[in-house]
Structure 1
Amino acid sequence: MKILNILARRYLPLEELDQTVAFHETLIGQTARLRFDYPEYDLRLAQIASILFIAGTEQSLKPFTATHLTFLVDDIDAFAAHLPHVGAAILDGPKPVPTGRNMLVQHPDRTRVEYVEHRDKHPADLLP
């Protein structure tokens, strides 16, 4: 059971996603390694380095903005079994998502974190 990477979440209007991604690709020197639509929630997402860009309308973003971080993990089921024993609450999931499986967790300090296990893990998504 391991956290592979921690992503800062950046919420933005849908019409700003392409320009924002292009700016950060140039600034960081890395092409977005993850980019997909999430039509069930009317969202588009992209990841560059350790930033997860989540774009949508004000209404489509509203259910997600209380979530502060995304933890990429190697085994979501192991975390789902472990976290309640250390004071965290599973709020939703684990459930299928376009990239694999996720769950929403509230840590004891009230930080809301999305835990995600990607189906196709990227070698660059490993913390040093």
Structure 2
Amino acid sequence: MHVRQAWVRVFCEPRALDDTVDFYRGLTGGEVTLRYGYKEQKVRMAGVKSPTLSVLVVAGEPAARRPFEAIALTLEVDDVEAVRKAFTYIGGEVLEEKATETGAKTLFVRHPDGLLAEYVPHTPTRRTTAAAKE
């Protein structure tokens, strides 16, 4: 398993999404590579990727954001199943598994030090499509 990209999460009100994205684009010199929403949870997300810092901005009302705020880090990996095996070996805990819109697996994991992280599969097609919408 290799980490392809690490995303720190930043949270904001819905009306601040574009300004927050612009701030992190300017700060990092990065580009917007993700834009999507979760209608059921009433949040929208945007990703700003750069070689030095990648930021996943989660926008929504405080109550809608709360379930997302426990996760500090999103890690994009080349093999989600290898993450499961590694965490079984090192003593971490897989808390939840969800399927993405493409049917791929996403894992929510507690690291041995207590950090909560999301592991997502690398999906270059979705990233390209999202970037084109920007």
Give me the TM-score of the superposition, normalised by structure 1: 0.84
Aligned residue pairs total 122
Instruction: Give a deviation string over 1:15-54, Cα, whole Å, max 9, x none.
Output: 1101111222233333311111121321111111211111
Segments ≥4 residues shifted beyond 3 Å:
98-101
Counterpart check, 1:64 vs 2:68: yes
Please name the residue that 2:132 is paired with.
none
Counterpart check, 1:47 vs 2:37: no
Superposed displacement of residue 102, structure 1:
1.4
For structure 1, the residue ranges without an aligned partner over 5 or more in a row are 124-128
Instruction: Give a deviation string over 1:79-111, Cα, whole Å, max 9, x none.
Output: 112212101000000x22347531110011100
Matches within 5 A, 1:1-128: 1-49=1-49, 50-93=54-97, 95-98=98-101, 100-120=104-124
Q: How far apart, in 1, do the equivalents of 2:60 and 2:6 lie?
A: 22
Give me the TM-score of the superposition, normalised by structure 2: 0.81
Q: Give RMSD over aligned pairs.
A: 2.0
